[in-house]
Amino acid sequence: MDLGLSGKVVLITGSGSGIGQHMAVAFAAEGAKVAVNDISAKGIEETLRMIEAAGGAGGAAQCDITDTAAVGAMVATAAKKWGRIDILVNNAAVMTQHALFLEKSPEQCDQEIRVTLYGTINCIRAALPGMIARKYGKIVNIATDAARVGQEREAVYAAAKGGVIAFTKSIAREVGRDNINANVISPGATNSPMRNAILDKMRQSMGAERVAEREEKVKRVYPLRRIGEMEDVSNAVLFAASDRARHITGQVLSVNGGFAML
């Protein structure tokens, strides 16, 4: 299916690594022009090399999305370079530590909220005026099913993502009249660098055998008996960002192998 993304301009936050990087390459492969945002210049460079290798076009959009002024400048620069921003994918998020709530410092909790929730709000605030002026735009925000059903050791991260979900629904009601769609893609467990880093720490504390046994138990609670892959998330995001999804807004699509059916 041709998603009609060729020539579209997409800004993806947190696309210097992980799922965001995978999405950036996937959009580029569809012919989109990709503004690669991350706080890491090295990560951006890596993503741009991957985009070039895929035959796509991209540009650097480095900034800290918790800085409102910096975000405004980033969006203005990207819009000047390509004439507009058609699609905004808010993917950037931080989980400082996979730990119980009381084991985290207030500073860690604040960082998770500032990046995950306020960062998303900042980017939408900057991108919306141009979309409204052109009467066209697609906003896709990345959440997590932890925000929908709760998850121990991810309490504040889940709370911040829950805020993203509520904010998306409200924005969808405000800007639908301007032909702007706003939706949420909500992954379950996904084989990403973030998840793999957590598993590595668990192997150090529990041992590889016990972690392998735990992983088998995890898979059994998924009807599809598998952990998601990054391409599963990217495929859903590309669809939500396309005009194939023109009559879908304010919705949350879980990409979770049936773990939670909400």
Task: Give the residue numbers annotated as catalytic, written as ranges.
Answer: 157
Asked if 12 and 35 count as a contact pair (C-beta separation under 8 A), the reply is yes
Residue carrying the six token digits 């668990």: 202
Neighbours of 42 (CB within 10 A): 10
Neighbours of 179 (CB within 10 A): 14
Joined together, the tokens standing for residue 240 give 């939500």
d(CA 168, CA 184): 7
d(CA 212, CA 175): 46
- What is the residue type of 99? A
Per-residue DSSP letter, 116? I
Residue carrying the six token digits 């952990």: 227
Asked if 52 and 82 count as a contact pair (C-beta separation under 8 A), the reply is no
Q: What's the burial of 187, exposed, middle or buried (CB within 10 Å: 0-12/13-18/19+)?
A: buried
Residue carrying the six token digits 């650097």: 60
Q: What share of the chain is helix, strand, coil (3-state, %, to 5)?
A: 55, 15, 30
Q: Give how far Cα 257 sits from Cα of 186, 188, 229, 254, Å.
A: 11, 8, 10, 8
Asked if 222 and 257 count as a contact pair (C-beta separation under 8 A), the reply is yes
